[in-house]
A and B are shown apart, each in its own frame.
Chain A
């Protein structure tokens, strides 16, 4: 907001300038004075709910909440004093009083903003012992679970679901001591418009909202000698898993990750990237067919399970435009239980497939009846988030940082650079363009970097010249941004050939199952997202093959097993369908 009028104020004796519309907290952040905070999130609206960020302003009788209080010319602010410390400590103590005392066994132990604040503010004793709320857990969803007793009513989940995702599934119900954050009718997450994206879990400062934990099931499968346990890792995992072991965000860790998974006892370590390459080949052919017939355009991508569920609740009328391609994860799981099992001579009923995903909604996708085998089990038996696999590796006792680099198993482990970039917003579009370019023109695509669809902006529009044709494409990440795009498509204001939608801000690298950000960064932080994206673009550049249709094992797969892209067998195994879902979402 550089166009704003600037004012000057003094914070802790430092004279500084700030835009006239800034809050005290923003002005302080700008000069690296960090005021303790809890309900505040830089990407969400101001709630002023927790009262932790109190500061003293000269001439004012009472301290004010710095996250909400605007700066003024000549204002003198103190962000720390013995009074403020005591007030903040009391506020956090009162929150703790209505919070379970199970930190040691809590999922967020060591990663909890409330725990951290309590420690920093010096709370060593519990002075207040009062009534504690009793609310049942909501374990209805296979993806996102809620424990309202751990909720501190900061409202971040309500705000992210409304403002960033446009889903508005959560709201505060009742009042006073009985306030309960819940879906409509204080119902559960399964029977609601929840798209299972997990952004609420990401922004939750405590363990009130978490991914449903599947680590026990996976450990059990690993211990079962009759099970052939196969793991696949999504493109964005390699860009984020290192953070769990102290690496700077954006440090690619593919090799160590594969080593770790092997040490844990997975029989095969395959790469979801292979599924991504396959998705591109299928989707590009699907697109070309629609493009030639000029029907069912724009084609909308279907890799993001949060987006798919959002479409079914909020835009059921657009279902015919969505690509029928299964997601890379499910495509690969299908191949593991058909092609691979056949090739390896293993009964597919004994194969247990684990997907390592950046995503909570993938847990939901895996349980969709459309993705069940003919013998009645999910093609993907278990889905773990990046956070879960990091916990598992730690609890397994692995020294991740000291591991050597290993490579994925073949044939489902080789992938092109086009697949790596699936993990970031714009990646699927770019990968599709690389293949579509060659299929449309018959010429090699020399300029492979479609930089106009890169970057972490919410909506990226572009006109791409392919031979004598111009493709109009748009990329949206974050479902509120998707709404903006789709509403324009529906009204006829905009015409596109292809739309990529990722439910989460930044794409999969910002997914609901990715590591909690390191100190100094936050969820949806564009700096963090850029660092993770850079890792993927770097890997892409270093790959021998960078176009999905050039993946030699993909070519072999079609030749020996699938037949033609979009052919009968490919359709049966690699495509799916969508259905309008209730309750209908309000846009």
Chain B
């Protein structure tokens, strides 16, 4: 994921040049507003989520009312509006993992990172998600960090695992 030239000093997220060019190219075409979803996909691919400023810019550049842009964007579960952390934590909450205490893992992670499910920790390091059964029931409970699977995780082991990804334990 590139990050160059995407945000200004004020933290306003601007559309990257490539997407602006794509919108300009498609504007002259018939049913030009039908390219909205494609544009949203490009933005999500670029930023990992749909920043509010970008949606407003899309509305202006594509001349589609803002309410319609966000109406379409919120319709699809594929799109997300919160920034993604550097790493994604998925706790499997499938039946087997749950029985083996995945619920406690999930709760402990929320406490440790001070983050709500689906959101990103304040330091930008972790996005916490829950997963349905990942097919590794023999390893329950399972925590997946990015691509790596941690098996038989106990809540007390969490700080150690997170530390590998830059987590500093203890409140400042």
Interface of A toward B, CB cutoff 8 Å:
162, 168-175, 182-186, 192-193, 583-587
Main SS class of interface, A: loop
Q: Which of A162, A174, A186, A586 contacts B59 (CB 8 A)?
A: A586
User: What separation, in Å, do the CA atoms of A246 and B49 have in the docked complex?
Assistant: 55
Report the minimum CB–CB distance from B37 to chain A (whole Å). Answer: 14
Residues of A within 8 A of B74 (CB): 173-175, 186
- A583 close to B56 (CB less than 8 A): yes
Residues of A within 8 A of B67 (CB): 168-171, 182-184, 192
- B70 close to A184 (CB less than 8 A): yes
- A584 close to B60 (CB less than 8 A): yes
Residues of A within 8 A of B66 (CB): 183-185, 193, 583, 586
Report the minimum CB–CB distance from A183 to chain B (whole Å). Answer: 6
Main SS class of interface, B: helix
A180's nearest neighbour on chain B, judged by CB, is B74
Known contacts A169-B67, A171-B71, A185-B55; 11 additional CB pairs below 8 A are A162-B65, A170-B67, A174-B75, A175-B74, A184-B66, A185-B66, A193-B66, A583-B56, A583-B66, A586-B63, A587-B63
B168 at the interface (CB under 8 A from A): no
Report the minimum CB–CB distance from B60 to chain A (whole Å). Answer: 7
User: What separation, in Å, do the CA atoms of A218 and B6 have in the docked complex?
Assistant: 52
Give the top 4 A-B pairs by smallest Cβ distance, nearest first.
A171-B71, A168-B65, A184-B66, A171-B67
Residues of A within 8 A of B52 (CB): 185
B24-40 contacts to A, CB under 8 A, are none
Number of interface residues of B (CB under 8 A): 16
Report the minimum CB–CB distance from A496 to chain B (whole Å). Answer: 26
User: What separation, in Å, do the CA atoms of A173 and B74 have in the docked complex?
Assistant: 6
User: What separation, in Å, do the CA atoms of A172 and B70 have in the docked complex?
Assistant: 9
Residues of A within 8 A of B63 (CB): 586-587
Residues of B within 8 A of A183 (CB): 66-67
User: What separation, in Å, do the CA atoms of A192 and B75 have in the docked complex?
Assistant: 20
User: What separation, in Å, do the CA atoms of A184 and B81 have in the docked complex?
Assistant: 13
User: What separation, in Å, do the CA atoms of A168 and B33 have in the docked complex?
Assistant: 15
Sampled A-B contacts (7; CB under 8 Å): A168-B68, A170-B67, A173-B71, A173-B74, A185-B55, A583-B56, A583-B66
Residues of A within 8 A of B70 (CB): 171, 173, 184-186
A161's nearest neighbour on chain B, judged by CB, is B67
* Binary contact readout B47-60 vs A (1 if CB under 8 angstroms, 0 otherwise): 00000100110011
Interface core residue of B55, B60, B66 (most chain A CB under 10 Å): B66
User: What separation, in Å, do the CA atoms of A186 and B52 have in the docked complex?
Assistant: 11
B102 at the interface (CB under 8 A from A): no
B161 at the interface (CB under 8 A from A): no
Residues of B within 8 A of A186 (CB): 70, 74
B73's nearest neighbour on chain A, judged by CB, is A173
Report the minimum CB–CB distance from B49 to chain A (whole Å). Answer: 13
Q: Which of A182, A184, A193 contacts B69 (CB 8 A)?
A: A184
User: What separation, in Å, do the CA atoms of A172 and B69 have in the docked complex?
Assistant: 10
B62's nearest neighbour on chain A, judged by CB, is A586
Residues of A within 8 A of B59 (CB): 184, 586
User: What separation, in Å, do the CA atoms of A192 and B64 have in the docked complex?
Assistant: 15
Interface core residue of B55, B64, B65, B69 (most chain A CB under 10 Å): B65
